């Protein structure tokens, strides 16, 4: 089925990536079909891999093959083999997009263990290891926007490693990340070769803020439900425009560096009362990426609204966040907690996935 909306948002300057990966999706040719409809990239995380590997038998043959070759392999190495195969297959499927866009799109993201999120040295070493292991020019390695992750971003962009900075929820997070990007590419001889996106999480902000608004319970508080995430994102996008079209980026722009596009993550509507494409329809604008799970992508193709929505309602966005704060909601505290909880959620998913792999290696017959 064609998806005119994907081509239309592309015309407006936004790329759509898929926030999902599985062996079946790639091996069946379904990913190739989505690329034909206008999909331009792919992201993954430990929660996605846990879902993919724990459901069904799509990975059983690969498990058997690895265990025949290395019967004593530990579970972490087994995990490496499986996810690297997935990332390589997806990167190869998206390579034509990468080549056609001069490296702007056709990228696939891979995340190091979240357990390293507060350890600068461990994260740096793991990103380098994964970059070498996957060995594809169109892979991006994720680095969390924790205080310990910021030096990693700067150092590894300087080495020419493509970085997707993740778990950003606030203007404070975005400021730190965008400036780390500029410092990093300033250290690289060929900055036009380096690709990076700043992944800003959306719907989870409403989940946490709405909970506080419902606790307050006044008519005013309840009227602000479902508005914080989009307002927060629109204001960050304006800061992006200020930085990358102004003097702050002028020197690197003159050297041929790319802008670090904002990527909207967590764009499925967690509250079933909200429209299922609200975090897509309201966040369309130039030099951005929206990465969607399959269900949201299909919904957007079916009934999404396309327009330059990121540039509208800016005064309202500022007013919305001001009113939320005036009610006593600790918005800054919430965004910090969201990052902490995001790290924990990904770490928990990886631990659960390791248990699944331990069980599968016992269940899958090798002979």
> What are the residue numbers of the active site?
142
| Cα–Cα dist 226/205, whole Å | 9
Nearest to 197 by CA among 164, 243, 151: 164
**DSSP reduced 3-state for 259:** coil
Check the CA dihedral 56-58-60-63 and report its sign.
negative
**DSSP reduced 3-state for 222:** helix
Are 279 and 269 in contact by the 8 Å Cβ rule? The answer is yes
Are 239 and 174 in contact by the 8 Å Cβ rule? The answer is yes
CB atoms within 10 A of CB 196: 26
Nearest to 41 by CA among 23, 22, 24, 21: 21
The values of phi and psi at residue 196, to 5°, are: -150, 145
Alpha helix ranges (H) inside the chain = 4-11, 23-27, 30-37, 46-54, 60-69, 75-100, 120-134, 150-158, 171-186, 203-216, 219-223, 228-245, 250-254, 278-281, 294-303, 314-326, 331-363
């Amino acid at each position: 089925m064609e998806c005119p909306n994907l081509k239309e948002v592309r015309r407006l300057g936004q790329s759509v990536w898929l926030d999902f990966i599985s062996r079946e999706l790639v091996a069946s040719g379904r990913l190739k079909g989505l690329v034909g409809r206008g999909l331009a990239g792919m992201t993954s995380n430990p929660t996605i891999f846990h879902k993919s590997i724990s459901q069904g038998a799509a990975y059983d043959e690969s498990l058997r093959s690895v265990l025949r070759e290395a019967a004593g392999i530990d579970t972490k190495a087994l995990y490496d083999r499986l996810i690297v195969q997935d990332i390589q297959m997806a990167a190869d499927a998206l390579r034509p997009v990468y080549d056609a866009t001069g490296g702007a799109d056709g990228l696939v993201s891979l995340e190091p263990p979240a357990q390293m999120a507060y350890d600068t040295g461990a994260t740096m070493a793991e990103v380098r290891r994964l970059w070498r292991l996957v060995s594809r020019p169109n892979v991006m390695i994720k680095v969390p926007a924790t205080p310990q992750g910021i030096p990693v971003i700067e150092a590894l962009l300087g080495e020419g490693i493509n970085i997707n900075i993740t778990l950003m929820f606030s203007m404070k997070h975005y400021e730190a990340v965008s400036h780390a990007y500029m410092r990093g590419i300033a250290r690289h001889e060929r900055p036009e070769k380096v690709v990076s996106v700043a992944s800003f999480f959306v719907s989870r902000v409403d989940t946490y803020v709405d909970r506080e608004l419902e606790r307050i319970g006044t008519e005013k508080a309840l009227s602000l439900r479902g508005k914080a995430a989009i307002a927060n994102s629109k204001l960050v996008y304006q800061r992006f425009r200020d930085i990358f079209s102004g003097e702050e980026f002028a020197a690197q722009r003159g050297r041929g560096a790319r802008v670090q596009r904002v990527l909207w993550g967590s764009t499925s509507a967690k509250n079933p009362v909200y429209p299922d494409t609200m975090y897509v329809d309201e966040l369309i604008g130039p030099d951005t990426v929206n990465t969607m799970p399959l269900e949201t992508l299909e919904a957007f193709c079916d009934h999404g609204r396309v327009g330059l929505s990121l540039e509208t309602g800016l005064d309202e966005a500022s007013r919305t966040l001001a009113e939320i704060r005036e009610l006593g909601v600790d918005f800054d505290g919430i965004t910090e907690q969201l990052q902490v909880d995001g790290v924990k959620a990904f770490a928990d998913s990886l631990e659960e996935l390791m248990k699944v792999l331990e069980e599968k290696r016992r269940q899958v017959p090798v002979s």
